[in-house]
Structure 1
Amino acid sequence: MLKIGILLPHDYRLLSVAAILDVLEAANKIYSASEKAMPFDIGLYQITDESTNFNGSFHGYQVRSIADEKFIELILIPAFNTENMRQTIMKNYAYLPWLNRQFQRGAEIGSFCTGTFLLAASGLLNGKIATTHVDACTAFTASFPEVLLRGDKTVTQDGRLYTSGGSTSSFHLLLHLVQRYCSKDVAVKIAKIFAIDMDRNRQSYFSTFQPLRDHNDTIVAMVQQKIEANYRNAETIEELIKDVPSSRRNVLRRFKQITGIPPIEYLQQIRIEAAKKLLEQTNQHMGEVIFSSGYNDPKAFRRIFRKIVGMTPTAYREKFQTN
């Protein structure tokens, strides 16, 4: 049996833990129904001072402390439910050296949705490909610039490290793991039980660009305000930042350092977000949408839209239009 350790960190999202348990239990039941040895030995782990929160048990599972240093073959980190990720990571700091020790001993580690923040804080994702919830990508990139974030991906694997995108993307990582440790046949059965679309490999069209504002850099805040107020008419970034009391080089450096993306990409994100709202909420002709979102070249608009969103503007309207 594969020894699996599911973490119960501070501020974990209950729905995430439940999804992980449901899928792994379903795989075990499929084997048990065929009178075969169950594939997964599931355990739950917490920091020592938290491991008594459930009187030693969580929905029938013994809650163990990470202090026992028992080797775990596959560690799974659930999503977080928090408004302050930095604070949450600090509360869970004790997991970081433990994750590194487990990985050095050969463990595989998977993180779900915003659980990727904790995995990244361990340093194990530096130079590795990863994904997370689409709406957390900007904050993630700003916090962990050395991670090769692929925010459009539903699931990533880089060596012994796995990550998933937001919400239902967690099921796709679970299917990936079931197929890896069991078989494709079992993965298909699980997909049918939970009504999971196995072919979905992108999540970018679910994203909503949420600019990072939790910083104290007045220069960067000024540039953000200028872009957001003038995205329809701005010709170049240089035009927007000409009155900012700092050198161009310093502005560009500080902006990317704080927000995780350069000003030109920030401008594109703001424009595409405006276009998405028009496609969702109005019946404007595509030419009007293009012009209203700050573009004059339809070809350039469609290329950038597809790059950011993962589908064409027409396909996006068909999928998400509300009126």
Structure 2
Amino acid sequence: MKHISILIPHDAVMASIVDPRIIFTGVNDFLAAAGKPPAFKVQLVGLTKEVELHNGTFTVHADALIGDVKKTDLIMVPAIGGDLRAAIKKNEGFTPWIIDQFHQGAEVASLCIGAFLLAATGLLNGKECSSHWLSANEFREMFPEVTLVDGRIVTEQQGLYSSGGASSYWNLLLHLVEKHAGREMAIMAAKVYALEIDRKTQSPFIMFNGQKKHEDEPIKQAQEFIESNVTERISVEELAVKYAIGKRHFIRRFKKATNNTPIEYIQRVKIEAAKKQLENSRKNVNEVMYDVGYSDVKAFRTVFRKITGLSPIEYRNKYNKEAVEV
């Protein structure tokens, strides 16, 4: 039987504590109904016996304190909210215990923005990680030694797991159920809780918001120029000349400041503009393509799918119920 420790951090998102407990105890119920022994022992583990969440709106009772748990198999790190730096500080008491348990063989899984707490342990240094796309820029700023993977729902490396944003953590939970209780139980859980199993990407949900929390003023001006000229074809050479910076140096400075190359940034800005038109207008794909400065249908569709995980038509059909199929 696998011992699962669901942490109760200060400033935790309530659902990301409750949902793992629901799915793992639910699998035990499925097994019991089939006359089989339980797969999991599930405990809520805290720094204190009672943890207030959401400014005291909820109080969660811990089954055990971290000092009581000498050995566990899987640690679940829930999402946190509010000021993330302050939340990490409040929860630093978990850090040595998580590290010790990991070195004893425990796996560790973060849900959504719980990736910040996992990254704060240092265990993710040199590894890949998933988190909510909305906090990506802040994550990269705080943890430059961790490779944040945009769009991926589940990341698994050497016993460390992380998930994409919000409800996509259910896919990590299903992944863990399948690993520790089998595919049959994962499918059962997906059906009972009405979840889409094997969803791989959160790319269709990402809204691009260029990283501007930096002090490189010419690069910031270049970003604003790109965003103000979506319909134009803009080259890297043109931008470098415009801001009087050598091309290679411009590319390096742009990448350092924004976490994107200039070409990637131009593409993301154009595709974000295209997404908004596909969501809110009745224009066909070719009209949208021309509106954001593309003339090559194949190139537009290739870049669109690379960034969103969907074709332009699939994206429009997903988000625009008023669209007329053409």
Shared topology, TM-score over 0.5? yes
Give the aligned partner of residue 263 of structure 1: 262
- Percent identical residues: 38
2:172 is the alignment partner of 1:191: no
Structure 1 counterpart SS, 2:51: coil
Give the aligned partner of residue 53 of structure 1: 51
Give the aligned partner of residue 23 of structure 2: 23
Q: Is the 8 A contact 1:145 1:260 kept in 2?
A: no
Q: Is the 8 A contact 2:49 2:61 kept in 1?
A: no
Give the aligned partner of residue 4 of structure 1: 4
Q: Once the 2 structures are TM-superposed, how far is the Cα of residue 240 of structure 1 from its aligned partner?
A: 2.6
Give the aligned partner of residue 41 of structure 1: 41
Equivalent-residue separation in structure 2 for 1:234 and 1:228 (angstroms): 12
Equivalent-residue separation in structure 2 for 1:52 and 1:259 (angstroms): 41
Equivalent-residue separation in structure 2 for 1:223 and 1:107 (angstroms): 46
Superposed, 1:97-246 pairs within 5 Å as 97-244=96-243
Give the aligned partner of residue 300 of structure 1: 299
The letter for the 2-side match of 1:62 is D
Pick closer, same or farther for the CA change 1:162–1:255 going to 2, 3 Å.
same
Q: Once the 2 structures are TM-superposed, how far is the Cα of residue 257 of structure 1 from its aligned partner?
A: 2.7
Structure 2 counterpart SS, 1:76: strand
Q: Is the 8 A contact 2:51 2:59 kept in 1?
A: no
Pick closer, same or farther for the CA change 1:235–1:133 going to 2, 3 Å.
same
Q: Is the 8 A contact 2:112 2:165 kept in 1?
A: yes
Structure 2 counterpart SS, 1:110: strand
Give TM-score scaled by structure 1 length: 0.88
Give the aligned partner of residue 55 of structure 2: none
Pick closer, same or farther for the CA change 1:43–1:272 going to 2, 3 Å.
same
Structure 1 counterpart SS, 2:124: coil
The letter for the 2-side match of 1:27 is V
Structure 2 counterpart SS, 1:242: helix
Pick closer, same or farther for the CA change 1:42–1:58 going to 2, 3 Å.
farther
Equivalent-residue separation in structure 2 for 1:27 and 1:58 (angstroms): 25
Give the aligned partner of residue 279 of structure 1: 278
Give the aligned partner of residue 32 of structure 1: 32
Q: Once the 2 structures are TM-superposed, how far is the Cα of residue 68 of structure 1 from its aligned partner?
A: 4.8
Pick closer, same or farther for the CA change 1:287–1:312 going to 2, 3 Å.
same
Size of the aligned set, in residue pairs, is 317
Structure 1 counterpart SS, 2:196: coil
Structure 2 counterpart SS, 1:171: helix
Give the aligned partner of residue 312 of structure 1: 311
Equivalent-residue separation in structure 1 for 2:114 and 2:250 (angstroms): 32
Equivalent-residue separation in structure 2 for 1:285 and 1:178 (angstroms): 42
Q: Is the 8 A contact 1:139 1:212 kept in 2?
A: no
Q: Is the 8 A contact 1:10 1:91 kept in 2?
A: yes
Q: Is the 8 A contact 2:81 2:87 kept in 1?
A: no
- RMSD over aligned CA atoms reads 2.5
Pick closer, same or farther for the CA change 1:86–1:312 going to 2, 3 Å.
same
Q: Is the 8 A contact 2:8 2:51 kept in 1?
A: no
Pick closer, same or farther for the CA change 1:221–1:300 going to 2, 3 Å.
same
Pick closer, same or farther for the CA change 1:11–1:42 going to 2, 3 Å.
same
Judge which range, 283-292 or 148-157, deviates more: 148-157
Q: Once the 2 structures are TM-superposed, how far is the Cα of residue 34 of structure 1 from its aligned partner?
A: 4.0
Pick closer, same or farther for the CA change 1:131–1:115 going to 2, 3 Å.
same
Pick closer, same or farther for the CA change 1:299–1:35 going to 2, 3 Å.
closer
Q: Is the 8 A contact 2:75 2:108 kept in 1?
A: yes
Structure 2 counterpart SS, 1:53: strand
Give TM-score scaled by structure 2 length: 0.87
Q: Is the 8 A contact 1:75 1:108 kept in 2?
A: yes
Pick closer, same or farther for the CA change 1:255–1:122 going to 2, 3 Å.
farther
Give the aligned partner of residue 70 of structure 2: 70
Q: Once the 2 structures are TM-superposed, how far is the Cα of residue 223 of structure 1 from its aligned partner?
A: 2.6
Equivalent-residue separation in structure 1 for 2:173 and 2:188 (angstroms): 13
Equivalent-residue separation in structure 1 for 2:115 and 2:283 (angstroms): 39
Q: Is the 8 A contact 1:274 1:293 kept in 2?
A: yes
The letter for the 2-side match of 1:72 is T
* Larger relative contact order, structure 1 or 2 (CA cutoff 8 Å, min sep 6): 1
Q: Once the 2 structures are TM-superposed, how far is the Cα of residue 217 of structure 1 from its aligned partner?
A: 4.1
Q: Once the 2 structures are TM-superposed, how far is the Cα of residue 199 of structure 1 from its aligned partner?
A: 3.6
Pick closer, same or farther for the CA change 1:141–1:25 going to 2, 3 Å.
same
Equivalent-residue separation in structure 2 for 1:235 and 1:259 (angstroms): 17
